[in-house]
């Protein structure tokens, strides 16, 4: 692949960012060749001039395609879906596509207490040692309530076919599942089916550096 077509995905060095996860799954599902480069947030590599130049905002993940750079995982997923041939990442039906975008936007903007008490370090390193607080429990109940409305009972995808929103929702549910928090069986089955996709296992099972508390 020439430099004008080269695709590079920048991810966090520990491979625990839910947003890097989305971008990684998008590229894997699309089947486009790319390379991964790790960014050390602890060392401030995302603040370096060269990284700011390609990402604009200094956020991780970032995607570089030739001389075009883009940050924000939802924007990356949409760009990958539109710029490259391959299986769709978002539904073709406009109503379903809008719903997928709603799910992804909601996951990124709500449930803060749950994200704080079940951070991704508890998914890939040490499990949480404390029960959920009242606020986090309310977030967990909201997640389960919304997921129950969205996921048809007994099905393994939100819509007729898989979408990138499935990966995001399953990732959020696994904050609870992996930490032993209660999740209804049908949502566990849904999340487990997503966790078994090759694109997802590639991220989940990726080698990580030792945990530093």
pLDDT recorded at residue 213: 56
Domains of the chain: 7-88 (3.40.30.10), 94-197 (1.20.1050.10)
Among 13-17, 29-33, 41-45, the range scoring the smallest mean pLDDT is 41-45
Residue whose C-alpha is closest to residue 31's, from 143, 199, 172, 191: 199
Which tokens go with 76?
A: 């990356």
pLDDT recorded at residue 130: 95
pLDDT recorded at residue 95: 97
What is the spatial distance between Cα 103 and Cα 167, in angstroms, rounded to a whole number? 11
Which tokens go with 120?
A: 């991704």
pLDDT digits (tens, 9 = 90+) for 50-87: 888 888 988 899 999 999 999 999 999 999 999 999 99
Q: How confident is the model at residue 2 (pLDDT cuts 50, 70, 90)?
A: very low
159 has pLDDT over 60: yes
- Which residues are within 8 A (CB) of 112 and not within 5 positions of it... i.e. 6 or more apart? 139
Q: How many helices (H) and strands (E) does the chain have?
A: 10, 4
| pLDDT > 90 in the chain, percent | 84
Q: How confident is the model at residue 3 (pLDDT cuts 50, 70, 90)?
A: low
Q: What 3-state class would DSSP assign to 132?
A: coil
pLDDT recorded at residue 148: 96
Which residues, in sequence order, are bridge partners of residue 38? 11
CB of 168 closer than 8 Å to CB of 22: yes
Which tokens go with 141?
A: 């109940």
Residue whose C-alpha is closest to residue 103's, from 173, 169, 186: 169
User: Model-level pTM?
Assistant: 0.94
pLDDT digits (tens, 9 = 90+) for 90-101: 999 999 999 999
Triad 95, 145, 87: Cα angle to 5°: 40
Query: What phi, psi does 15 have (nearest 5°)?
Result: 55, 55
């Amino acid at each position: 692949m020439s430099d004008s077509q080269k695709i590079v995905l920048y991810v966090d060095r520990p491979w625990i960012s839910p947003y890097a996860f989305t971008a990684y799954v998008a590229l894997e599902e699309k089947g486009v060749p790319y390379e991964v480069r790790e960014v050390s947030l602890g060392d401030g590599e995302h603040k370096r001039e060269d990284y700011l130049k390609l990402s604009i905002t200094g956020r991780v993940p970032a995607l570089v395609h030739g001389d075009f750079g883009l940050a924000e995982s939802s924007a990356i997923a949409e760009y990958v879906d539109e710029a490259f041939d391959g299986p769709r990442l978002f539904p073709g039906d406009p109503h379903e596509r809008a719903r997928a975008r709603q799910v992804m936007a909601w996951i990124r903007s709500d449930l803060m207490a749950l994200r704080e008490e079940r951070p991704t370090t508890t998914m890939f390193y040490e499990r949480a040692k404390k029960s959920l607080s009242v606020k986090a429990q309310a977030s967990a109940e909201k997640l389960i309530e919304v997921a129950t409305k969205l996921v048809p009972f007994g099905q393994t995808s939100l819509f007729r076919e898989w979408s990138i929103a499935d990966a995001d929702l399953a990732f959020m549910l696994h904050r609870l599942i992996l930490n032993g928090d209660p999740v209804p069986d049908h949502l566990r089955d849904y999340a487990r089916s997503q966790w078994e996709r090759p694109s997802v296992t590639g991220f989940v099972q990726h080698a990580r550096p030792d945990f530093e508390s």
